[in-house]
Structure 1
């Protein structure tokens, strides 16, 4: 197997669609497992629920869909951490 194909297969993370209640209404969000795990970790660090964290992300987004807003939030969280 060529190296690029092997690497692509190793990096592939299936998108998982999950239901979550935010601001009193149920919605579904599709994210890769790595983003779900990171989002849960951030919620624990902030001592908040996953639903409340997603609600704050949802309330702060200017455009795009919620899944994209969550991915950008997680990326920003890890980029801004002290090294």
Structure 2
């Protein structure tokens, strides 16, 4: 089993977060500020260099209005 940091599923989550952020017209800095972190934190998630745990995913999804259930289904079906 491949390491999850660089797995296809991990990269799908990272890409979905970045795509949704951009579709909402938000910068990484804006999301980071709302999340209480610095911009590189968001950049590392979106680039696949940092894993997102479930609580972080839920909080980020709330900030960028991402449907987590739909994302999970998409990832599971891949």
State the TM bucket, normalised to the shorter chain: 0.3 to 0.5
**1 or 2, which has the higher strand percentage?**
1
**Structure with bigger gyration radius:** 1
**1 or 2, which has the higher helix percentage?**
2
* TM-score, scaled to structure 1: 0.38
